[in-house]
Structure 1
């Protein structure tokens, strides 16, 4: 498995004190009652729109590309709701890392778990598709309370954040694997583990194929789903961690497992996977990470979408 970061006295160097202060404030914020957290998160999202102009532009552009039929008024409303979710996402990360198991259980519900536990009991490897909702950290924590698996992560350049995110995620995961360590991922799947995997971002041209995604006909999409499923024989299980709009907490919705995905080519698998991702996004579109440059990689000679 990947060598994981460990806490050391070097992380207490004065250069990191401002960051530790921010972490302390996040910890204190998530001690508040959930309705207060929800109010603060949404207010923080409105404030973020004033200072993150470039990200607002990216979110608006992504929505225009994916939903050309959407009116300008609808798009503006979606961007506002999305940034409310951005603000909540910061606090939900703190909730995922610092809340007790009892508090997580109180504010969450899960559906569709039984088929997964049956597969897991048979030592069937499961590729758990957890796409980039702004609730993703909290969704992983909720999942881990029921059926712990192995997380896939990108190491952070800041050693304090790298240690903290690993510590937080290991509260509900058996282990963590660097997203570049494909061999360890395949080995774990063959051993009947659950691997958390996100195939929905643009990870660059090296390991991507161009297939449709919503109304974009050539979206760079990772071929990793094809590689992992073909070499491991894993079942693919998508799930959606959705924040309830009535303020009563969260629901983790597990979709039906697919144990025979289309594997005839990387393009076929990626195209099918994008359809699954679309279905998941439409279950809570305002909570998806639209501020990511999903269409930054273009085919040779094709101009930028941004």
Structure 2
């Protein structure tokens, strides 16, 4: 069966944006300095022990649809990866066809961010965003329940920036983004270093239980977005913390800053985070990029490859200028997203707020 037509990022990305020379996890990979937490069975047991308890209300009829979906999808993650990728692509194409509002939002976002591209190319990009998201569903479930399938499929560049910061006794805040790989990126990071992660609880109680417990096999600690006490605790313990500041939460805790040339409400929590902890050993803020390197059709026996990039520490951050700081974060994230724009979740309403409140661009 013919595979869906794909957007080819190699024809459109700047060479300067592509991942730099890298290493793979092995005995020769650079070790973290003495005293730095490492991935151990103790670490994994601690993560797995931090689970949310099952609630009997999850068996009520209003949750039966979710249970049915899980019963249909979860067995599929034990198929070979090439079949999972095929199913993921088909799922993405289906979602592109039936998710009308999300498709429209994606096309609007791409038109704002890439006005120089012809409409037909933006439509191809939008379709590929959904295809990548479909693949990401299977990648995330495997990351939670079958992580060993990704052994020796990852390389990393920029690890020395994190290692050097921890040698100095500093915590590290990795500024991530909502890539379609979802939680697989976090799982792959833990092949090199342990980390905590910040998250926003799901509105649906069963989904929140399922997602939280799935992530507990990856992250050392999960920190709710408003739980600053736990965040400060991780900072004091010199942990690596994964935080994604790339969505629009309005201007109550943000400012307007350009993102892909478009004024966007940009959260400023990361500059407040940078001021926490020991003033003599302040947190080091770096950006994290996760990238799926795989052909559209995986030959039999061929495994996908993933690349992680950690950027150098943000310079002069935080400054006395909120807008300048927000602009710097957006510029760094934008440069990484441009490596392959279709691997970022463009179906979120990134530009829904303007300087005076909600905009009408998505109507």
Q: Structure 2 length as normaliser, TM-score?
A: 0.78
Q: 3-state SS of the aligned residue for 2:222?
A: strand
Q: Is residue 245–residue 270 contact of structure 2 (8 Å, CA) maintained in 1?
A: yes
More helix by share: 1
Pair 1:226-2:271 in alignment: yes
Q: CA deviation at 1:254?
A: 2.0
Pair 1:173-2:219 in alignment: yes
Q: 1:254 to 1:303 in 2, by over 3 A?
A: closer
Cα shift readout 1:180-219 (whole Å, capped 9, x = no counterpart): 1234323422331111101110012211101111121x21
Q: Is residue 274–residue 318 contact of structure 2 (8 Å, CA) maintained in 1?
A: no
Cα shift readout 1:14-43 (whole Å, capped 9, x = no counterpart): 543331232233221111111111111011
How far apart in 1 are the matches of 2:183 and 2:138? 10
Cα shift readout 1:134-167 (whole Å, capped 9, x = no counterpart): 1131101111232111111111122221112111
Matching residue within 96, 112, 121 for 2:158 = 112
Residue in 1 aligned with 2:336? 280
Q: 3-state SS of the aligned residue for 2:276?
A: helix
Pair 1:62-2:118 in alignment: no
Give the number of aligned pairs.
Answer: 302
Q: 1:67 to 1:266 in 2, by over 3 A?
A: same
Q: 3-state SS of the aligned residue for 1:174?
A: coil
Structure 2: gaps of 5 or more residues: 1-49, 299-303
Residue in 2 aligned with 1:149? 195
Superposed counterparts of 1:37-186, under 5 Å:
37-100=84-147, 102-186=148-232
Q: Structure 1 length as normaliser, TM-score?
A: 0.91
Q: CA deviation at 1:46?
A: 0.7
Q: 1:16 to 1:231 in 2, by over 3 A?
A: same
Two-structure CA RMSD over aligned residues (Å) = 2.0
Structure 1: gaps of 5 or more residues: none
Q: 3-state SS of the aligned residue for 1:136?
A: coil
Q: Is residue 153–residue 176 contact of structure 1 (8 Å, CA) maintained in 2?
A: yes
